[in-house]
Amino acid sequence: MKIPEKILFSKEQIENRIRELVSSIAEDFRDREIVIVGILKGSFIFLADLVRLMYEYNIHPQVDFMILSSYGGSTYPSTMVKIERDLSISVEGKAVLVVDDILDTGRTMQYVKERLRWLEPEIVRTCVLLDKPARRIVDITPDYTGFQIEDEFVVGFGLDYNGFHREKPYIAVIQNPESAD
C-alpha cells in the first residue's frame, strides 16, 4: 500500500543546509586530525554529502562507522543500545565528529559518546541532520544540527521505515507508520 507522505525538506533545502554545516565544521576543525564516525545505517547519505563537501573546504578526514542496534520496535527505539560493529581505526588524540541521521531520545548518541571517551580522542563533536528535541530523554544537544523537527516520524535521505525510503532525496513525514503496511 502507498503510504501518504508530507515533504518537510526538499533536496535543495537539504543541500544548502549541509553546505552551511560543513562551512562551520571546517572552521572549528581546521588543522586537526579528524575522524568522522558514521552511525549506520541511517547516516550514510548525509555522511557521504558532508565528506564530499569537506574536500572543497580542504578538510581531509578519516572515516569509520559504527553499527548500533536498539531493542524494540522500528518507530520508537527502546532503552537498550548494543554495539553490532565497533570502530576499526584509532581515534586517540584525534578530533572526532560523530554523524547520525537523527537525534531522538538521545540514547544512541550518548552511548556512542561514552564508548568513545574510553578511546581518548582529543575532542568529540556531534552532527545530526535532524533533531527531534520533543522526545529527548537524555540531556544531550548536538553541536551541529541540520534541521529541528516536531515529534513526527520522518523518512528519506537515509532514514528508513522498515528498511525502505532511504533513497528518497527529500525528507518526508509518514503518517501512522505502525499501521501503514
Question: Which stretch, 34-42, 51-59, 81-89, 121-129, contacts Mg ion (CB under 5 A)?
Answer: 34-42
Q: β-strands 5-9, 34-40: how paired?
A: unpaired
Whether 143 is catalytic: no
Task: Choose the binding region for Mg ion from 27-35, 37-45, 134-142, 144-152 (rule: CB under 5 A).
Answer: 37-45
**Can you give the chain as a three-state secondary structure string?**
CCCCEEEEECHHHHHHHHHHHHHHHHHHHCCCCEEEEEEECCCHHHHHHHHHHHHHCCCCCEEEEEEEEECCCCCCCCCCEEEEECCCCCCCCCEEEEEEEEECCCHHHHHHHHHHHCCCCCEEEEEEEEECHHHCCCCCCCCEEEEECCCCCEEECCECECCECCCCCCEEEECCHHHCC
Minimum distance from residue 179 beta carbon to ligand 5GP (Å): 16
- Residue closest to Mg ion (Cβ): 42
Instruction: Provide the minimum distance between the beta carbon of 42 and Mg ion in the complex, in angstroms, as a whole number.
Output: 4
Report the alpha-carbon distance of residue 175 to residue 152 in Å, rounded. 8
CA 132 to chain centre: 12
CB nearer Mg ion, residue 84 or residue 181: 84
Q: Which does 144 bind (CB under 5 to 8 A by kind): ligand 5GP, Mg ion, none?
A: none
Q: Which is nearer to ligand 5GP, 94 or 165 (CB)?
A: 165
Interaction site with ligand 5GP (CB under 6 A): 42, 77, 100-109, 132, 153-155, 159-161
Shortest distance (Å) from residue 23 CB to ligand 5GP: 24
Q: Which of 42, 77, 142, 156 binds Mg ion (CB under 5 A)?
A: 42
The nearer residue to Mg ion, 42 or 177, going by C-beta atoms, is: 42
Query: Which among 64, 104, 160, 181 is annotated as catalytic?
Result: 104
CB 39 → Mg ion: shortest distance, Å?
6
Query: Given the rule CB under 5 A, which residues bind Mg ion?
Result: 42
Q: Would you name the residues annotated as active-site residues?
A: 104
